[in-house]
Amino acid sequence: MTLENASRPVPLTAEARALTRRSLVPIAGVLLGGALITGGGSAAHAGGTTMRRPSAMFYGGSEARAGAWLLIDLTGLVKGAKVTYQWKVGGVAIKGATSDSLTVPRGTVGKQLSVALTISAAGYETLRYEQSAGTIAQGPLESSTPTIVGTPTVGQKLTAKPGTWTSGAKLTYEWHLDYGPGDVRPIKGATTSTLTVTSSMVGKGLYVVVKGTKSGYDEIWRMSGYVYPKNASTGKTLSAPTPTISGTARVGSKLTAKAGSWTSGTKLAYHWKANGAAIKGATGSTFTLGSAQIGKTITVTVTGTKSGYKPTAKTSKATAKVAAKTLSGATPTISGTLRVGSTVTAHKGSWTSGTTRTYQWYANGVALKGATKYTLVIPSSALGKQLSVKVTGRKAGYTTLSRTSKETAKIAARKR
């Protein structure tokens, strides 16, 4: 028996759009000892050395929530270990949920979420156990991108279609006009699902924002795409080429719209979109990519207006999917006296400016519980073992990077 409609969120859902490995929060109540989970389970005895169970941490918010994204992170794995995953709800496998992350299925509130882990490595017994992620709580509102239905000409009525939302959600509407770069204004009194086009709207971009609220859920809003009101008279046709985009589709890079040659005297307006959805405030001829655009394709629509002519809009081809930047980081080194009770220090070396780093110390490749600072007082459990330290760097808009030091010589006994 399996549950449908759950898979790895690539790209991320709208609710998890800003949630990445660089901005995650451990789930409270599931992380024992503040960070580590040991959980239940057993090893399959197929010969070889018994494998120590790695530490596990869940990321994705304050708790497992229906419709939200969740990640399990294992530390202290033996060298060369291979891990397979199977997420379950109420003990039932979720079809296709076999990666280290999951968008928790809706309709599962109050059920237990877990992940079955199988860890194998050469020379070790295969380890199989099930790790609990706790009881599934209510998640964010289910929502859709609204659309505008109707002909955007003076005197015609337009209707905002909100799409599918969580049952019982209260929806409110607010219509906006885009006058040009940096000048977006709400239309006074336009707070219902319908709007009649007036002559003052001609030549401007028009869109609607739908806001959803419901007790027990986070407030959420969705923005429609643009329509461009025009006069009822036809007018002449503008000469309007298809625009092109130059630049690299990578976070931090600037994209430039090349409008091409239009009818002389035409006034041009620009509107950038990610995966077909308008990017709020992106109305100039250039746009600098941010972390919110990772994994999405970018297009630009150029709209031309001129007195006596019909307004015309042309949209470029989509770029490749926007990639994250790559962090750079040095391999850490360890200094200090290699003796029980002595303090050793991890030296991180040079990393990309603005990188946030975390530390994890190991003895003979096994993570030391609670050893997550850049210094370590060597515990008696490390006697006769070799130390190493892993430094993990994170920065918004960048891929996560981990560097591990060389192992030290064996730790000597405490000096008497």
Tens-place pLDDT, residues 259-278: 999 999 999 999 999 999 99
Q: Which residue, 369, 328, 318, 387, is CA-closest to 352?
A: 328
**CA atoms of 298 and 300, how far apart (whole Å):** 7
- For the residues 248-266, what does the mean pLDDT come to? 93
Confidence of residue 234 (pLDDT cuts 50, 70, 90): low
Residue 3, pLDDT > 90, answer no
Check residues 352 and 141 and name the one with the higher pLDDT: 352
Residue 33, pLDDT > 50, answer no
Confidence of residue 233 (pLDDT cuts 50, 70, 90): low
Q: Largest Cα–Cα distance in the chain? A: 97
Note the pLDDT of residue 403. 94
Note the pLDDT of residue 14. 37
Mean of all residue pLDDT scores within the chain: 85
Note the pLDDT of residue 92. 96
Q: Which residue, 405, 398, 295, is CA-closest to 356?
A: 398
Confidence of residue 10 (pLDDT cuts 50, 70, 90): very low
**Lowest-pLDDT choice from 213-222, 361-370, 387-396:** 213-222
Check residues 216 and 24 and name the one with the higher pLDDT: 216
Q: What percent of the chain has pLDDT over 90?
A: 63
Note the pLDDT of residue 388. 96
Confidence of residue 143 (pLDDT cuts 50, 70, 90): confident
Q: What percent of the chain has pLDDT over 70?
A: 87
Residue 126, pLDDT > 90, answer yes
Most confident stretch, 32-41, 342-351, 396-405: 342-351
Strands 170-178 and 157-161, by their bridges, are unpaired
- For the residues 9-28, what does the mean pLDDT come to? 36
Instruction: List pLDDT tens digits, range 47-79.
Output: 578 999 999 888 876 578 888 888 999 999 999
**Lowest-pLDDT choice from 115-124, 303-312, 378-387:** 303-312
Q: Which residue, 324, 304, 321, is CA-closest to 393?
A: 324
Confidence of residue 24 (pLDDT cuts 50, 70, 90): very low
**Lowest-pLDDT choice from 81-90, 102-111, 184-193, 267-276:** 102-111
Q: Which residue, 165, 169, 167, is CA-closest to 143?
A: 165
- Both tokens assigned to 325: 């930047």
pTM of the model: 0.39
- For the residues 391-410, what does the mean pLDDT come to? 92
Check residues 256 and 5 and name the one with the higher pLDDT: 256
Note the pLDDT of residue 235. 66
Note the pLDDT of residue 23. 35
Note the pLDDT of residue 248. 93
Phi and psi angles of residue 404, each rounded to the nearest 5 degrees, phi first: -120, 135
**CA atoms of 311 and 306, how far apart (whole Å):** 7
Note the pLDDT of residue 218. 76
Note the pLDDT of residue 61. 61
Residue 29, pLDDT > 70, answer no
- Both tokens assigned to 308: 């006596």
- Give ∠ CA 411-413-416 in degrees, rounded to 5: 145
Residue 42, pLDDT > 60, answer no
- For the residues 347-356, what does the mean pLDDT come to? 93
Residue 36, pLDDT > 60, answer no
Residues contacting residue 378 through CB under 8 Å, at least 6 positions apart: 338, 339, 340, 341, 342, 343, 344, 387, 411
